[in-house]
Amino acid sequence: MVVKHVVHIALFAAIVAALGLMPPIPLPVIPVPITAQSMGAMLAGSILGARRGGLALVVFIALVMIGMPILSGGRGGFGVFMGPTAGFILSWAVAAFMIGHLTERSWSRLTLARLIAFNVLGGIVVVYGIGIAWLSLVSGVPIDKALYGSAVFIPGDIVKCVLASMIAMTVKRSYPVIRR
Amino acid sequence: MTLGLHLPGDSVIHRLPVGWKIGCLLLASTGLFLVSDPAWLALALAGVAILVIVARIPPSVMARQMAPALVILAILVAVQAIFASGREALELGLRFGALLPLACLVTFTSRVSDMIEFIERITAPLARIGFDPAAVALALTLAIRFIPVLFQLMTEIRDAQRARGLERSPLAFFAPLLIRTLKMAHEVSEAIEARGDPAPPDGPAGRSRANRK
Amino acid sequence: MIELRDVSHAFDGRMILHDVHLRLDQRRIGVVGANGSGKSTFARLLNGLLVPTQGRVLVDGLDTRTDGKAVRRAVGFVFQNPDSQIVFPIVSEDLAFGLKPLRLPRAELDARIDAALRRYGMERYRDHPCHHLSGGEKQLLALSSVLIMEPRHVILDEPTTLLDLRNRNRVVEALGDLPQRIIVVSHDLDLFRDFDRVIVFDGGRIVADDDPAPALAHYVSLMS
Ligand SMILES: Nc1ncnc2c1ncn2[C@@H]1O[C@H](COP(=O)(O)OP(=O)(O)OP(=O)(O)O)[C@@H](O)[C@H]1O
Ligand SMILES: [Mg+2]
């Protein structure tokens, strides 16, 4: 393993963690501030690519598991993964990997629209798919009810997809990482 | 040392090796999903309560850590009570009511560094398939080291943004954050290389030099 | 001794260092020059972080191109920003990092860590998180983490730039006591007053190489 890759993985895991410690960020249009932590998977995937992006989120999840209070709201430890919403957190690693994979494949002809599509696919479809399936499985609450319950968060998450994509495009222009 | 949620102590549970605690937690969680009789689940809950007392975890600390999960749990229990049956709601409440504090207990009584050592140990066999356990441990400790560094960087960037009236522009926050982090990653990897390879001689990190520019 | 034989270095085809031919055998050597004149590139060549595109760099007879590992063991490197070079969360863990591959017995490891902490009076920080240290203490920790490996040469690239006056003085004092060969890159000219030799870079070339007084005078006239 290349030392620099390990450092990329670790520093992005640390970014996701530090985002959990920051107070929510105010947005231009939307009145409520957002917690930026769930953008972590999108940013890691679309900046670092599949392998490093996915592993950054794996490291983040491992840190939560071993007792760092780094999920927004200061949560951490095994308890998080024994709760009914663990699927949402675990899905971040899959989402980052998938976003990274799609981004890498179209790296040389990447457009904002395309990156937004990737982030919606990974950051919303994958995250909600895994999160809701998990919730329903461990709690016995039927899938449709679990989906209605979570649907209120989807508009905010779409805003995050757009933001993360714009940010990643800016970073790509001044400091491309994937093809280096 | 103020890292993580660990609460120092010398109870039996504190002294139990980390691997044992995690193993027991996995067994217990599987068991709790196999059992559906509320009487047994209630017994398990009582058992967990005793363990929490033995480990001398203050109830307030435990409550603060579990509160967000308990809120969601309460909603789910209500949903089950309305749409399914009272018994299913009770089952759900007892099962997670036992599982959550048990999991928190493992966290409170284990040191982060012991956990990392444990992870390094259980991932050691993966070396045969080209996976580097030393790199895993390095990634975890590096990440822990850089959480406060990045938090400080975020605070600085946010203050600079405010000074320029850009506080509602996420782009003006994230772009400098990420670019500075990537530059820092370059410096950090240089420093690690300058301090010698973290892996044993001829280990995977030793080979890294050849394929670097 | 560190020796550069007809060394040139280019990044992406752009020449940054031209034809450097040097023997570094004094104990305290300073390096000055304008921003972008190639000082950091020069410093990185000395411990094999960079391998020259032309010529050879020899450290005690070892070629950085072929014996990178042994060279890095012989040459310690301290960077400008202590936050980028402290890689472990706890002070003692960071000190132990480089020693890990040596697989020392626990007692010896502890003894070396304690000795390293004592050198700069930082015993009380042994089990502290690194991010609680002040900037100067962080730089002293970074220096200690390098010295604990017992290198024969130590290169420092702007070690005091980010420090306030008091912390700068602590680091300078620490450098004064080192038995190793030290090569210091800095814009802080005062630091070089009692050095054995000062090398001045300009546009990737050595334009002066002398005792501190004449070399620094040359640099000052160059800059004005
Ligand atoms: N990795 C790199 N890739 C491409 N160019 C580089 C790289 N590192 C340095 N350079 C270029 O080489 C030149 C010399 O850089 P160097 O860092 O050696 O200067 P310096 O003398 O240390 O300057 P300063 O006083 O600002 O630290 C600069 O023009 C810089 O842009
Ligand atoms: Mg420099």
Residue B202 has pLDDT above 90, yes or no: no
A131 in a structural domain: yes
For ligand 1, atom 31, the nearest C-alpha belongs to C36
CA B60 to mean position of chain CA atoms: 20
pLDDT band at A31 (very low <50, low <70, confident <90, very high): low
Per-residue pLDDT, A27: 65
- Out of B152, B184, B193, name the one closest to residue C84 (CB): B184
Residue B102 has pLDDT above 80, yes or no: yes
In this complex, do B147 and A68 lie within 8 Å of one another by their Cβ atoms?
yes
The pTM (predicted TM-score) of the whole model is 0.86
B173-187 average pLDDT score? 94
A20 in a structural domain: yes
Task: Name the neighbours of C, counting chains with at least 3 Cβ pairs within 8 A.
Answer: B
Task: Name the neighbours of B, counting chains with at least 3 Cβ pairs within 8 A.
Answer: A, C
Query: Ligand 1 pocket test: which of C18, C41, C199 has the largest number of ligand atoms within 8 Å of its C-beta?
Result: C41
**Helix B112-122 to helix B133-163 angle, to the nearest 10 degrees?**
130
pLDDT band at B165 (very low <50, low <70, confident <90, very high): confident
Per-residue pLDDT, B198: 47
B-chain residue closest to C97, CA distance: B198
- Out of C87, C100, C129, name the one closest to residue B3 (CB): C129
Q: In chain C, how many domains are there? A: 1
- For ligand 1, say whether the CB of C33 is within 6 Å of any of its atoms: yes
Lowest mean pLDDT: which of A47-51, B97-101, B199-203, C175-179? B199-203
> Of A46, A47, A44, A49, which is closest to residue A16 (Cα–Cα)?
A44
The string of pLDDT tens digits covering residues A37-53 is 989 999 999 999 999 99
- For ligand 1, say whether the CB of C36 is within 6 Å of any of its atoms: yes
Residue B207 has pLDDT above 50, yes or no: no
CATH code of residue A114:
1.10.1760.20
B88-106 average pLDDT score? 91
Buried b (16+ CB within 10 A) or exposed e, B73-109: beebbebbbeeeeeebbbbbbbbbbbbbbbbbbbbbb
User: Looking at CA atoms only, how far is residue B30 from chain A in angstroms?
Assistant: 11
CA C163 – ligand 2 centroid, Å: 16
- Out of B192, B197, B209, name the one closest to residue C87 (CB): B192
A116 in a structural domain: yes
> Of C48, C2, C43, C56, which is closest to residue C25 (Cα–Cα)?
C2
Ligand nearest to the CA of C35: 1
Per-residue pLDDT, A28: 64
> Of C70, C212, C93, which is closest to residue C152 (Cα–Cα)?
C70
What's the CA dihedral at C11, C17, C22, C23 to 10 degrees? -40
Contacts of residues C212-215 at CB distance under 8 Å and 24 or more positions apart, as own/partner, are: C212/C30, C215/C30, C215/C32
Lowest mean pLDDT: which of B157-161, B203-207, C71-75, C123-127? B203-207
pLDDT band at A178 (very low <50, low <70, confident <90, very high): confident
pLDDT tens-place values along chain C, 224 residues long: 999 999 999 998 999 999 999 999 999 999 999 999 999 999 999 999 999 999 999 999 999 999 988 899 899 999 999 999 999 998 998 999 888 878 889 899 999 999 999 988 899 999 888 998 988 899 999 999 999 999 999 999 999 988 889 889 988 988 888 999 999 999 999 999 889 999 999 999 999 999 999 999 999 999 98
The string of pLDDT tens digits covering residues B2-27 is 467 888 888 999 999 999 999 999 89
Residue A74 has pLDDT above 90, yes or no: no
The string of pLDDT tens digits covering residues A89-132 is 999 999 999 999 999 999 999 999 999 999 999 999 999 999 99
Residue A1 has pLDDT above 80, yes or no: no
Lowest mean pLDDT: which of A83-87, B42-46, B174-178? A83-87
Per-residue pLDDT, B1: 36
Residue B89 has pLDDT above 80, yes or no: yes
Structure tokens at A123: 């950051």
State which residues form the domain around A66.
Answer: 3-174
Size of interface A-B (CB pairs under 8 A): 216
Q: In chain A, how many domains are there? A: 1
The CA distance from A24 to A34, in Å, is 5
In this complex, do B188 and C84 lie within 8 Å of one another by their Cβ atoms?
yes
CB A67 within 8 A of CB B4: yes
Ligand nearest to the CA of C79: 2
State which residues form the domain around C73.
Answer: 2-223
Residue B119 has pLDDT above 80, yes or no: yes
Backbone dihedral angles phi then psi of residue C65, each to the nearest 5 degrees: -75, -40
Per-residue pLDDT, C189: 93
The string of pLDDT tens digits covering residues B31-80 is 988 888 999 999 999 999 999 999 999 999 888 888 888 888 898 899 88
CATH code of residue C150:
3.40.50.300
For ligand 1, atom 19, the nearest C-alpha belongs to C36
Residue A153 has pLDDT above 80, yes or no: yes
A-chain residue closest to B67, CA distance: A75
A180 in a structural domain: no
A179 in a structural domain: no
CA C41 – ligand 1 centroid, Å: 6
Percent of chain B with pLDDT over 70: 91
B79-108 average pLDDT score? 90
- Out of C79, C86, C149, name the one closest to residue B196 (CB): C149
In this complex, do B173 and A25 lie within 8 Å of one another by their Cβ atoms?
yes
Size of interface B-C (CB pairs under 8 A): 83
A42 in a structural domain: yes
Per-residue pLDDT, A78: 86
Report the nearest atom of ligand 1 relative to the CA of C204: 14
Lowest mean pLDDT: which of A3-7, A165-169, C65-69? C65-69
